[in-house]
């Protein structure tokens, strides 16, 4: 049943990243609304709902031992009302409904964007309670609080980074197809780069804090399933950071200086690949959450 949980978590994380990254991208980076943005975000909300149901089903089957037993009323009631996962699942469902109401019922405005960012931030932050973000109590309450705060910041920044990439690639493609001016792309790249420095830096710092809490002994990186899965995630993050550096240092300057007419196309291809690596990172995180951390 881990397969269903991992797949559901992956879709859930990707949808959450877009739900947070898209309104932030419009406010802080593009400062315009792409015509297709609304439809994509509604689809992300639907994907978050369906994947949340899949995640719930996976947890229920794990508790019950089989699909047949998982649909028993007492099991469904226990998962929903007697577990932290169920309490947070209900809360996220309510927030998700609120996001859809704002998406469909509020006309485009800065107030709408800030409302979506606030709701999506709560949606993303709540994921700490169903992962390993609550781990750390064994090191004392102070370490537990630091770990939880670090994990919240880690999740929010990762969602902004990957969700921002989901929005940057379509913007660059609109420039290539002449539906967007190159001038607007240059401005967006400058803003995205500035935001990226902070986001990537915080992802790395909070990731190190989390790793120190979750893997207290270096030998556990090789000697435990959790440690090996964490190494895979770290390797993928290193590749992701590598793409970010190449995009910022090598591919973005010619575009921002308007010196190379083919530079936007090369940057777009690189951002698309970076998106793919970002999804692999989310897949590793989804898998990591099903493995018991190092004691």
CATH hierarchy code of domain 135-295: 1.20.120
| End-to-end alpha carbon distance in the chain | 23
Q: Are 117 and 152 in contact (CB under 8 A)?
A: no
Model confidence band, residue 137 (pLDDT cutoffs 50, 70, 90):
very low
Question: In whole angstroms, what is the distance from residue 210 CA to residue 216 CA?
Answer: 10
Rg (CA), the chain: 20
Lowest-confidence pick of 30-44, 104-118, 138-152, 196-210: 30-44
Question: In whole angstroms, what is the distance from residue 42 CA to residue 181 CA?
Answer: 26
pTM of the entire structure?
0.90
* Domain boundaries along the sequence of the chain: 1-130, 135-295
What's the whole-number mean pLDDT along residues 84-88? 88
Question: In whole angstroms, what is the distance from residue 61 CA to residue 147 CA?
Answer: 30
């Amino acid at each position: 049943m881990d397969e269903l949980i991992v797949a559901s978590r992956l879709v859930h994380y990707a949808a959450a990243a877009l739900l947070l990254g898209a309104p932030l991208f419009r406010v802080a980076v593009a400062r315009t609304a792409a015509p297709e943005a609304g439809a994509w975000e509604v689809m992300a909300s639907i994907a978050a709902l369906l994947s949340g149901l899949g995640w719930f089903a996976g947890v229920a089957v794990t508790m019950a031992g089989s699909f047949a037993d998982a649909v028993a009323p007492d099991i469904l009631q226990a998962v929903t009302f007697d577990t932290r996962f169920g309490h947070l699942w209900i809360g996220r469902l309510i927030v998700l409904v609120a996001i859809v109401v704002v998406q469909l019922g509020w006309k485009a405005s800065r107030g709408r964007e800030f409302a979506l960012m606030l709701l999506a931030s709560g949606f993303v932050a709540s994921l700490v309670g169903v992962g390993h973000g609550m781990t750390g109590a064994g090191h004392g309450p102070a370490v537990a609080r630091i770990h939880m705060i670090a994990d919240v910041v880690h999740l929010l920044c990762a969602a902004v980074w990957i969700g921002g990439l989901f929005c940057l690639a379509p913007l660059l493609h609109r420039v290539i197809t002449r539906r967007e001016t190159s001038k607007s792309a240059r401005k967006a790249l400058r803003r995205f780069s500035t935001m990226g420095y902070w986001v990537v830096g915080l992802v790395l710092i909070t990731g190190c804090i989390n790793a120190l809490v979750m893997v207290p002994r270096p030998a556990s990186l090789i000697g435990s399933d959790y440690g090996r899965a964490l190494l895979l995630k770290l390797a993928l993050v290193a590749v992701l950071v590598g793409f970010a550096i190449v995009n910022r240092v090598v591919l973005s300057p010619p575009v921002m200086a308007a010196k190379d007419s083919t530079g936007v196309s090369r940057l777009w291809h690189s951002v698309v690949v970076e998106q793919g690596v970002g999804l692999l990172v989310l897949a590793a995180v989804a898998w990591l959450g099903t493995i018991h951390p190092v004691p």
